[in-house]
Structure 1
Amino acid sequence: MTADDSNGRLDDDDYPAYTMGRAAEMLGTTQGFLRAIGEARLITPLRSAGGHRRYSRYQLRIAARARELVDQGTSIEAACRIVILEDQLAEAQRINAEYRRAAESAHSASAG
């Protein structure tokens, strides 16, 4: 691996850079919480060669949102479902905005 490869991975939101212990520490939660949201299929950590769970920054953001909901009294299962739906909605809105921009661009080109 070159220095460029490692720098690129550090910028990659999907690179599994964090161990379970470090992820729990960063989120201010327990490893059991991370296992529970994994069992609920909110996030699926990658496994190191030794079988240890590794988390990406994207997964940590998802886990942090679930933790917020649980801290507010939502069950883990419901929190995971809410976060999944929020993520799906954000993706649908992103795609819709792309279609809208493409349609406006096509309309501008044909009107000009």
Structure 2
Amino acid sequence: EARLITPLRSEGGHRRYSRYQLRIAARARELVDQGTPVEAACRIIVLEDQLEEAQRINAEYRRNTESGSPPAS
């Protein structure tokens, strides 16, 4: 209902979730079970995801800088 994840559909109309989507759903359930409102849980998950991506990019940039390679665009 919160539209945090949107599953793909099989030809028969069955919902198909990726492992990533299942991890997101489990994290949302964990936060809601701890008393976090659904909207806040969704925002937390989006922010956690953005932080993880930023950290990955930062680590890649540091590796490239240390090795003398130009950063990937």
Output the TM-score relative to the length of structure 1.
Answer: 0.58
Q: Where in structure 2 are the equivalents of 1:80-91 lying within 5 Å?
A: 80-91=42-53
Rg larger for? 1
When the two chains are superposed, the root-mean-square deviation of aligned CA atoms in Å is 1.3
Deviation at 1:41, TM superposition (A): 2.6
Q: Where in structure 2 are the equivalents of 1:1-112 lying within 5 Å?
A: 36=1, 40-106=2-68
Distance 2:4 2:66 in 1: 36
State the number of aligned residues. Answer: 69
**Structure 1: gaps (5+ residues):** 1-35, 108-112
Output the TM-score relative to the length of structure 2.
Answer: 0.86
Distance 1:105 1:91 in 2: 21
One-letter identity of the residue aligned with 1:81: R
Deviation at 1:80, TM superposition (A): 0.9
Identical-residue share of aligned pairs (%): 84
One-letter identity of the residue aligned with 2:48: E
Instruction: Say which structure is richer in helix.
Output: 1
